Structure 1
Amino acid sequence: MHTLPLLPLDVATLAPLDGKKLLITGGARGLGEGFVRAAAARGAQVTIADIAAQAGEALAAQLHGDGFAVSFVRVDLSDPASVEAAAQAAGERMGGIDGLVNNGAITNSGGKIASELSIETWDAVMNVNVRGTWLMTMAALPFLRASGQGRVVNIASDTALWGAPRLLAYTASKGAVMSMTRSLARELGSYGITVNAVAPGLVEVEATAYVPAERHRHYLEGRALPRAQVPDDVIGPVLFLLSDASRFVTGQVLPVNGGFVMP
């Protein structure tokens, strides 16, 4: 099978975010780290919100040392009080919030069939991925409303578009995020806030290292663009949805998976 070469991403070609104040959950590692680095490089002020305090603080310190306006706040998306405190701290620190990326999520149910799932696992995934996304959006809402041009980008997953097996809790949670995106877009549109979702395919990051090689091969062979997916592939669409270029785009779910799913 012929595979495409992986070309480097030129951050300079991405949508400008000069002066934007962004809160990015799950921003300490993986996809989130890519969003943070690219957004800062394109002129945004960024607050990283993550439960991984050591990694988040290290990333923020590194980027701050490089001259970028990046800081860190710890958040536990399963804890409503923690979510509220993190959004408040970010908004006060940056002097507002123009954009929110709801990227923080857990999997936990990978490899198990539906009958093997425990109620505890199901609840843990839903509390972080679904309830956490809702709570963080509501906690940031006063700042987003004050912005007059707020942007919310939810990170979903194409597993909810094709029905990935042995991943039920995660797949269901990301389907809920897609539905939430559409409903919130209608509720918040009158405030000038857009709400969209990006649904990546299987991205090669630390968090997907547990995924069996067979699943990686399934994705590779099923893509219209036959190569592995990396964080850089998702960064451009997310920055576009955070930028002024997407000001009349809302309620949309954008699959970013190399053509593995074409809904």
Structure 2
Amino acid sequence: MMSHFNRLLEGRRVLVTGGARGLGHAFAQALGQAGARVVIADILDERVQTTAAELAAQGLDVSGIALDLGNPDAISACVAEAVERLGGLDGLVNNASITNSGGKTCEELDIDTWDQVMQVNVRGTWLMTRACLPALRASGKGAVVNLASDTPLWGAPNLLAYVASKGAIIAMTRSLARELGSDNITVNAIAPGLVLVEATAYVPEARHRLYTEQRAIQRPQLPEDVSGAVVFALSDLARFITGQTLPVNGGFVMP
């Protein structure tokens, strides 16, 4: 099996949330090809097992766990099981998130939707990171990669809850990097643009066209376009990089 990543993560133990499909699926595949042992976690219980089996059939060390990021007890149980399976943890990819607020103006957005997005995207990322810290500290070279978005970098309209939650991820990344640097844990954020995955199928064609036409690289963005940045951020090549947000969007946003 050919890979761009040349066993860059040989023997690393990594947990990826939201790994059943889309970006998470692509990340798990790339991490496995780079030599990592991977546990993917997702609320889509049957789908996460199917995805894990598919990747295992490719010769990759990938297994799946059910996870509801809205449930703090489920987060603790997921991390405990992942650490037990892997014998420790070297990397965490906080990829899972929900949108829910797409297409609504700030006046149309309801409180329940706002609260649900914040609960999963912001609180879930915090609790997942917190639960993983003992194992990441024990690793001696722990790395956290948070999936942000380029939407807060350009102020995408009619998507307020999601944009606010991803802006919070960027801010949390900086704060966590300062807190955890003394533990030799790096914390960085990757900010993709609009990626062609199942979760973005609802996005109007005009928004897809806006992204494609205004990128420096004028083509649709695929999940595989983001994988290299995640592999790099988890590798020894990035051990002195922390607190950073890397837009991966073909040059749509250039902060």
TM-score bin (small chain): over 0.9
Change in Cα spacing, 1:11 to 1:67, as seen in structure 2 (3 Å) is closer
Q: Secondary structure at the match of 1:24?
A: strand
Identify the residue that residue 41 of structure 2 maps to in structure 1.
Answer: 49
Shift of 1:15: 6.6
Matches within 5 A, 1:1-263: 11-13=3-5, 16-263=8-255
Aligned residues: 254
SS at match of 1:115: coil
Aligned-partner Cα distance in 1 for 2:74–2:5: 36
Helix, strand or coil at the partner of 1:138: helix
Task: State the secondary structure of the residue aligned to 1:116.
Answer: coil
Moved beyond 4 Å, runs of 4+: none
For 1:85-120, what per-residue CA distance to the aligned partner results, in whole angstroms no more than 9, with x for missing partners? 101110111000100000000000000000111110
Q: Which 5+ residue runs of structure 2 have no aligned equivalent? A: none
Partner amino acid for 1:255? P
Letter in 1 for 2:42: D
Distance 2:194 2:242 in 1: 24
CA separation of 1:14 and 1:238: change in aligned 2, threshold 3 A: farther
For 2:142 and 2:112, the matched residues in 1 are separated by 35
* 8 Å CA contact 2:101, 2:160 repeated in 1: yes
Give CA deviations for 1:37-91 in whole Å, capped at 9, x if unaligned.
1111111000001000111001112222333211111110011000111011101
CA contact (8 A) 2:34 2:231 kept: no
Q: Secondary structure at the match of 2:191?
A: strand
Q: Distance in 2 between matches of 1:11 and 1:230?
A: 17
TM-score (norm 2): 0.98
Instruction: Determine the C-alpha separation between the residues in 1 that align with 2:63 and 2:144.
Output: 19
The change in CA–CA distance for 1:15 and 1:236 in structure 2 (over 3 A counts) is farther
| Secondary structure, counterpart of 1:197 in structure 2 | strand
| Deviation digits for residues 185-242 of structure 1 (CA, Å, limit 9, x no counterpart) | 0000000000000000000111101000000111111111111111111000110001
SS at the partner of 2:4? helix
Q: Determine the C-alpha separation between the residues in 2 that align with 1:212 and 1:64.
A: 35
Across the aligned residues of Structure 1 and Structure 2, the Cα RMSD in angstroms comes to 1.0
> Residues 14, 220 of structure 1: CA spacing in aligned structure 2 closer, same or farther, 3 A cutoff?
farther
| 2:117–2:162 CA contact under 8 A, matched in 1 | yes
The answer for unaligned runs of 5 or more in structure 1 is 1-9
Structure 1-normalised TM-score?
Answer: 0.95
1:225 is matched by which residue type in structure 2?
I
Q: CA contact under 8 A between 2:7 and 2:35: conserved in structure 1?
A: no
Q: What is the identity percentage for the equivalent residue pairs of Structure 1 and Structure 2? A: 62
Report the Cα distance in structure 2 between the residues aligned to 1:106 and 1:137, rounded to whole angstroms.
Answer: 18
State the distance in 1 between where 2:86 and 2:5 align.
26
Contact 2:145 2:190 in 1 (8 A): yes
SS at match of 2:64: strand
